[in-house]
Structure 1
């Protein structure tokens, strides 16, 4: 009898061991497959079971969380959603996350290991910590000035601090309110469909995800390349530049919008944006030197992150001489984001150095303790310092005597460059209005801000566009708001 009891006990113990082994197999070795199973909602429920961390601008939160009382409890809210949408992106229970909501998701959702006071316990219990915060580099006044300046017109503004690369403003217009995508009700799906079907593409981040022909603003790059290479040694000496200029190897004649461009010195050609002078300069420099100059400014860089990805700006390196002439005045296949052109202006303002732009100053815990900081940023020499000094003079001349007088700020030194970019079939579309600039206050040692503005649906009056009538006033207001602000972005 005792033998049978021992056998039964042994069998029961064996079954118990088998159960424990199977439980361990499921909970440890197969845990990930169950976690990743679409039918498992536990992770999703846990994700929205507590408030999300916030994105801060100028020390104030521009995001929040609302208790919906539903199974997916907390929904994302936004303060001035359309104003900051090109920075925050959206955090949706249905459609995921974008922009800073995406790149900062680990911190904001509380899953970043640095937020766990006892990581080992957290790993074992799989408890989710409280979300941390993402502190941006934005200047509140500059962001508002850019948004109001565009006034709902299609276009974008990017502003950066030349000496550091801090992004001070990033605006895309028209915009949208990310809050309409936060929940999971039927209205959320309707909003998603409406926004995606909108021909104005409000969810397109034109400041960093849309490239445009930069037009005459690219002449900053061409002028810097010509000075660096010694093709131009004296900006006040006449150039060998016919008007009109026959594109090499073709019968096509390139014209100018105004008079006085024949053999114009570089200073005059820059102030009055003579196409013929810069097209010929590009040809004289050649593809190799022009390509190298564009690359030094950041063109053809596919790795730029701020921290979300930026569409690469492009300068075609496989062009013939006629195409090179057009590329050198910002046409043909030359394309740039507004952020890239802000980097071009910043390089001039910063003694020829390009600082990699960045949007996140630091991340913090819920209580404000710093977790990570931006740290030092890579530096690239776009032109020689002495060339940058000459380019500053040329850009100042555009504002004081040339086509960019609408960007002038009393009591400040401002440099700029206007641009008109043709597009559409046979260039039939309304030209894009561009303006790139930098500004230094009367008490500042170095320029404090560099700006690029593009307006898509600009006035059909070409003289007004070329004269900086559309984009230059927006740039002026952004620069003025930065100069009036404290360095930390407060007013």
Structure 2
């Protein structure tokens, strides 16, 4: 009898061991496979079981969470959703996350280890850390001014604080309300399909994810290259530039929209935006030096994050002399995001030094404790300080008595550069209206803001479309908002 009891006990122990081995196999070896199984709803239920942390602008949250009482309990809400959509992105229970909602998802969802002082204790108790908050660098007044200025037109605005790289405004229009994508009901699917089928592409962040030919605003880069290379030593010396200018190795004649460009000095050419002068300057500087200067401003950099990725702006280095001439006036394969052109203007305003732009000022816990604070950003020298001084003078001239007078602000020094970029098959598309600028209040020790504006669909006759007429007033409104702040 005793022998049978011992056998039964041994058999039960063997079964128990098998159960333990199988449990360990499921819990440890196959845990990732089960967690990643689409049929497993536990991660989603856990993820949405508590409110998400907030994104803040000017100390005030522009996001929130609402209790739906469903299995996926909390849905994301947005205050002034279309205004801040290019910054926040969306947090959808169906379609995931984008922009800051994606880049800072660990903080906002509470899964970032930095938010918990006792992570091991939370692992034992299975308690969840409340989501943290993301404090942005945005200036609410500047963001609103940019959004109102663009109105119903397609376009984008980027504004930067030159001395630090803080992004003060980031606007893209047309926009959309991210809250329409937050839940998981039939309305979310309809909103998703409608937004993706909309030919105006409201979910496209034109400020950081769309590149455009920068047109004449790129002449700031070409002028910097010419001054740094010593091709130009005197702003008022004639440049020996013909009008029209025959592109090297071709019979194609490049002409100007304005008169008085033949042999114009750099000062005159910059004010009048003479294509012939800057095309010839680019050829005289050479592709190596032009590419080096463009790279110093941030072109061809694929690593820029703010913290979400930015589409890289390009300056083609595999060009012949005719293509280089066109590239030097912001055409051919030269492409730039509005954020990139704001960086160009910021470098000029900051004495030739370029700070890497950033959007997150600090990260805090749900109780307000600081987890992360943005420190000094990487700094590069885009041009010689004397070159920056000269370019600031040239840009001031454009606003004071050139093509950018619509950007003038009483009580402030403003510099700018207009641009009208051709595009499309045979350049038949509606030209893009550009304006890049910087502003310094009369009582400020340094420029406070650098801005880039692009308008895609200016509502005017083709010959009347200009950066000075369409984009400069928007830049002025943004700069004025920052200076008043």
**For the superposition of Structure 1 and Structure 2, which TM-score range results when normalised by the shorter chain?**
over 0.9
Number of equivalences: 485
Partner deviation per Cα, 1:174-217 (whole Å, 9 max, x = no partner): 00000000011101000000000000000000000000000000
Determine helix, strand or coil for the equivalent of 2:333: coil
The structural deviation recorded for 1:464 is 4.3
**Aligned residue in 1 for 2:240:** 240
**Aligned residue in 2 for 1:488:** none
The structural deviation recorded for 1:116 is 2.3
Matched residues in 2 for 1:359 and 1:240: separation? 44
* Contact 1:115–1:365 (Cα < 8 Å) also in 2: yes
**Aligned residue in 2 for 1:359:** 359
Matched residues in 2 for 1:249 and 1:21: separation? 77
* Map 1:146-225 → 2, pairs under 5 A: 146-225=146-225
TM superposition score normalised by structure 1 = 0.97
Matched residues in 2 for 1:467 and 1:87: separation? 25
TM superposition score normalised by structure 2 = 0.98
Determine helix, strand or coil for the equivalent of 2:417: strand
Deviates more, 1:401-410 or 1:124-133: 124-133
* Map 1:125-136 → 2, pairs under 5 A: 125-136=125-136
* Contact 1:215–1:331 (Cα < 8 Å) also in 2: yes
Gaps of 5+ in 2: none
* Contact 1:464–1:470 (Cα < 8 Å) also in 2: no
> Does structure 1 residue 101 correspond to structure 2 residue 139?
no
* Contact 1:430–1:459 (Cα < 8 Å) also in 2: no
The structural deviation recorded for 1:126 is 4.2
Matched residues in 2 for 1:196 and 1:462: separation? 29
Partner deviation per Cα, 1:435-467 (whole Å, 9 max, x = no partner): 000000111111010000000001444564336
Matched residues in 2 for 1:395 and 1:463: separation? 24
Deviates more, 1:335-344 or 1:6-15: 6-15
Matched residues in 2 for 1:119 and 1:125: separation? 10
* Map 1:38-117 → 2, pairs under 5 A: 38-117=38-117
Matched residues in 1 for 2:29 and 2:362: separation? 36
* Contact 2:433–2:467 (Cα < 8 Å) also in 1: no
The structural deviation recorded for 1:125 is 4.5
Determine helix, strand or coil for the equivalent of 2:468: coil
Matched residues in 1 for 2:94 and 2:10: separation? 52
Deviates more, 1:197-206 or 1:373-382: 373-382
* Contact 2:361–2:373 (Cα < 8 Å) also in 1: yes
Matched residues in 2 for 1:145 and 1:207: separation? 15
* Contact 2:136–2:360 (Cα < 8 Å) also in 1: yes
* Contact 2:434–2:467 (Cα < 8 Å) also in 1: no
Partner deviation per Cα, 1:386-420 (whole Å, 9 max, x = no partner): 10000000000000010000000000000000000
Matched residues in 2 for 1:380 and 1:231: separation? 23
* Contact 1:314–1:335 (Cα < 8 Å) also in 2: yes
Partner deviation per Cα, 1:311-354 (whole Å, 9 max, x = no partner): 00000101111111010000011000000000000000001011
Gaps of 5+ in 1: 486-491
> Does structure 1 residue 230 correspond to structure 2 residue 230?
yes
* Map 1:256-275 → 2, pairs under 5 A: 256-275=256-275
Matched residues in 2 for 1:122 and 1:382: separation? 48
Matched residues in 1 for 2:228 and 2:465: separation? 30
The structural deviation recorded for 1:227 is 0.4
* Contact 2:435–2:467 (Cα < 8 Å) also in 1: no
Matched residues in 1 for 2:248 and 2:50: separation? 66
Matched residues in 1 for 2:15 and 2:72: separation? 39
Matched residues in 1 for 2:189 and 2:248: separation? 54
* Map 1:310-459 → 2, pairs under 5 A: 310-459=310-459
Determine helix, strand or coil for the equivalent of 1:199: coil
Determine helix, strand or coil for the equivalent of 1:159: strand
